[in-house]
Amino acid sequence: MRYSVKYGPSYSMLVVDLEAGERITGEAGALTYMTPNIDVETRLRERGILGSLGL
């Protein structure tokens, strides 16, 4: 994995180059762009929505 921070300090963007089989986790809405050969997987955290609300 290689990474660089661009456009800082305001509106910084992390650019990450992943090797085959590597993964990265980001916040919802944080993805700006990606190359066509990247797969995106979305899922809830283990607590789920109700757990996050304290229910």
Q: What is the pLDDT of residues 38-48, one digit of tens each?
A: 888 887 666 66
Q: Give the number of domains in the chain.
A: 1
Q: Which of 20-24, 25-29, 31-35, 51-55 has the highest mean pLDDT?
A: 20-24
- The pTM for the full model equals 0.61
Domain that holds residue 9: 1-55
Asked whether the predicted pLDDT for residue 53 surpasses 90, the reply is no
Asked whether the predicted pLDDT for residue 5 surpasses 90, the reply is yes
Report angle CA 28, 45, 36 to the nearest 5 degrees.
Answer: 45
- Residues 35, 16: contact at Cβ < 8 Å? no
CA distance 24 to 11: 20
Mean of the per-residue pLDDT values of the chain: 83
Kindly state the average pLDDT of the residues 3-27.
90
